[in-house]
Amino acid sequence: MKPFLIIISTFCLLFLTSCTTSENEENHIHSIGFDAIEPGILYSATHFYIEKINLETGEKEKFGYDNDYMGFVIAADGTFYSSGHSEAIGNVGIRKSTDKGRSWKIMSYRGRDFHDMAVSYADKNKVYAWSTPPEVFLTKTTDAGNTWTNEGNTLEMDVFALAADHQQSNRLYAGTLYGLFVSEDEGKTWNKFALDTPITAVVDDPVNENKITVAIPDKGILQTINWKDWINLNYPGEEAVVFLTAEPLSGDIYLVNEHNAIFSYNGKWNKILEGETE
């Protein structure tokens, strides 16, 4: 098998099995995010807990044990949303926390699982979630989770990553097996954006409009500032990248790779977390 096919096959396996649990399972990071009202604080959502990391001091705090945090995102007002699992409930559907992940309230879809979620910084009340098989669909809320609208399987293909535009409240991006797609109407319809290759992660820049960064298995991290030309950011790792996010004020890129290492990029790459599992 070609190296590229090995990489994407491995990613697909991670994508489909990352929510399963076993007695001897190692922990792994599902997503990371920044709270805009807590500068310098990075939250890591893992298979077993949330970790709060102070990037200036290196201080770490773990909490929310016995929960699996899938699709974890943070709104501009500091509200946390996630899907996942717990020992008491199983598939929790979509839940919300207004106290930085210390407690959660299930909002909708109890019994279902959502690996990919996105929240609009242009409108903090808009949250999107893409469900996992067997019933695949996009759902959205425009009132901070009080009511949800099921849009159906509007892309009709595997979605590896979902991201909301920071400046345009109706715009969504989807990383798929066949490239990057964009929606201008909250996910009702989609158009091919770019790149005829699998996209495993995508993030929109919070500072500069039309600046998009994506992860591609055989090419690392690519970025465009005009929706046309792409540059390679020369990510130093060879591992598959499973998640991308951006720091809200600086726009610095942060990623998680398949071995739980966290890197940042502000013109050069820096390793934030070595990637140990526990």
pLDDT tens digits, 117-153: 999 999 999 999 999 988 999 999 999 999 999 999 9
Question: What pLDDT does residue 168 have?
Answer: 93
Two tokens at 54?
Answer: 């102070």
Question: What pLDDT does residue 14 have?
Answer: 47
Lowest mean pLDDT among 17-21, 230-234, 264-268: 17-21
Q: What's the chain's average pLDDT?
A: 88
- The span from the CA of 275 to the CA of 256, in Å, is 9
- The span from the CA of 175 to the CA of 158, in Å, is 9
- The span from the CA of 43 to the CA of 45, in Å, is 6
Question: What pLDDT does residue 43 have?
Answer: 97
Predicted confidence (pLDDT) at residue 100 exceeds the cutoff of 80: yes
Question: What pLDDT does residue 25 have?
Answer: 64
How many Å is the Cα radius of gyration of the chain?
17
Residue 164, H or E segment: strand 159-164
| Confidence tier at 13 by pLDDT (50, 70, 90) | very low
Phi, psi of 5 (to 5 degrees): -65, -35
Predicted confidence (pLDDT) at residue 19 exceeds the cutoff of 70: no
Could you tell me the pTM of the whole model? 0.89
Predicted confidence (pLDDT) at residue 78 exceeds the cutoff of 50: yes
Phi, psi of 17 (to 5 degrees): -110, 0
Q: Mean of the pLDDT values across residues 65-87?
A: 92
Question: What pLDDT does residue 276 have?
Answer: 63
Burial 222-233 (b: 16+ CB within 10 A, else e): bbbeeeeebeeb
For 102, half-sphere exposure in the C-beta direction (CA atoms, 13 angstrom radius) is 5
Lowest mean pLDDT among 95-99, 105-109, 142-146, 193-197: 193-197
3-17+37-265: CATH superfamily: YVTN repeat-like/Quinoprotein amine dehydrogenase (2.130.10.10)
Predicted confidence (pLDDT) at residue 225 exceeds the cutoff of 60: yes
Q: Higher-confidence residue: 3 or 37? A: 37
Q: How many other C-beta atoms can be found within 10 angstroms of the C-beta atom of residue 8?
A: 21
Instruction: Name the region of 124 (left: φ>0; alpha: ψ -120 to 50; beta: rest).
Output: alpha
Two tokens at 11?
Answer: 């990613």
Q: How many other C-beta atoms can be found within 10 angstroms of the C-beta atom of residue 84?
A: 25
Question: What pLDDT does residue 3 have?
Answer: 42
Lowest mean pLDDT among 13-27, 101-115, 231-245: 13-27
Is residue 128 within 8 A of residue 117, CB to CB? The reply is yes
